[in-house]
Structure 1
Amino acid sequence: MFVPAAGEWLPPADCTLLLPAVSVGNVGQLAVDLIISTLVLPKVGYFYTDCLVPMVGNNPYATNEEHAKELCTNAEVYASSDKKLAVLQIRSPLIKKKSRAFCQALTSWMKTCAFSRVVLLSSSHAYQRDDRQLSGTPFRYLVTPALQTSVADTMKALEWKEMEKLSLYPGINDEEKKISIPGGGLTKHLFEDCCSESIHMAVVLKFCSEGDNIPDAFDLLAHVNRWLHLLDLPGEVGTTSWKIPSSWRLLFGSGLPSALF
């Protein structure tokens, strides 16, 4: 499934993997774009899979005309050995009925690479929150049992809020509860697979709505940076600290052609 760009690529020891869920507002994907662009992470390979909608385009992180001619595909891996960081960017949605196969392929790759921790950036529909989720922070997290012990104190110090479990049969039987992440794409499936495979994984998500989700991406990234310290800068890391990729100039299209008027 993973094809290295040149030769063989193996993550360094104690490497963290970041990846997005194709979820409401594409918040996770936008946040990953900012990480790759800001940290200038080189591409080390791509995923060859029939589970994602096929796509190809120009280099979204090009800084000059020559780099703009490079091609990108629907799932690519960027990494830095010095930063002990790998990032998987997913650029197209899952093909219907292929989500389970894709999650299984991802968890298999994660185990092969032996990442020290995996962090999934996601989002969920704000309008489907229950009463407990309407006030306070819009961020939630989930951790697999394999990661729980090592991050419990950190999450408590950060005052992060764990994703609530909802009643399976509201008003009838409130004892049976489940995790519900509406609009979260593969988030729930991948999390459950990582739980069963004993993978050290955390999900960090934000409740949001469709629209201009660039502010949501900045907010989610600033939230995650408090834990992972992707950018170690004095004080709070703001929106100006992250480098916007060149591809975002056409995020909402190229505008109306003047010939129409």
Structure 2
Amino acid sequence: MASSEALHKGSGPDAIRVDRVVHRYGRGGETVTAVGPVDLSVPAGQFLVLFGASGCGKSTLLRLIAGFERPTHGSVRVSGAEPRPGTAAGVVFQSPRLFPWRSVRGNVDLALRYAGVARDERAARRAALLARVGLEGTERRRTWEISGGQRQRVAIARALAAERPLLLLDEPFAALDALTRERLQEDVRRVAAQTGRTTVFVTHSAEEAVFLGSRIVVLTKGPGTVALDLPIGLPRGDVDGEELRESREFAELRAEVAHAVKSAAA
């Protein structure tokens, strides 16, 4: 297993810095602290998984990194700047949030247009994106004509349309069946390796966390603070997903992470 220092240091400057962040909801005497204080430094190219029980603040932390919200205290920096919604990262939510009146092609082309891709370049870019997520031949189909897993693949392709260095995913597979979820986990793992994008993935599944992450941060129950910061030294290249899941090291890491989240939620 790679050392924590090697994994956390990475090969370049930090893609994300979270410094003494606290975030509260509400006003006056009705405030609820959702997160903090939290400190995180995420090097470029790392696949970070935020893991914890429901209500620990992991989705709140993701929204702060995306720039959808600003911290009550502390600071968040993406590539050295304060994140702005729509420009800091590609984001995939639990629900695909596609436009139902548009085809698969239309949904991806709209993302390419907002990303500033020239009209005469969109067809080639769209084809490459759909091939990357395994959706060749679906361009003309409407969103209600494809499965839930395929709709989520369209959402991932759309998030990749703008070539931003950061990809954020908030429990994107939680509503899918087990087989589809495993297939999409393998797709996301492969896409992250191919693109080299810094990725932050929110989940409440220990198995998903270990399979996807090169690093796992477990949060305590709300307000969420860092209970465990664990490097994952499993192979990151072209590996057989089923074989990896059946390995002894995978089982040991899954048990360690599951135990950590139970302790953090106690």
TM-score (norm 1): 0.34
TM-score (norm 2): 0.33
Could you say which structure has the higher helix fraction?
A: 2
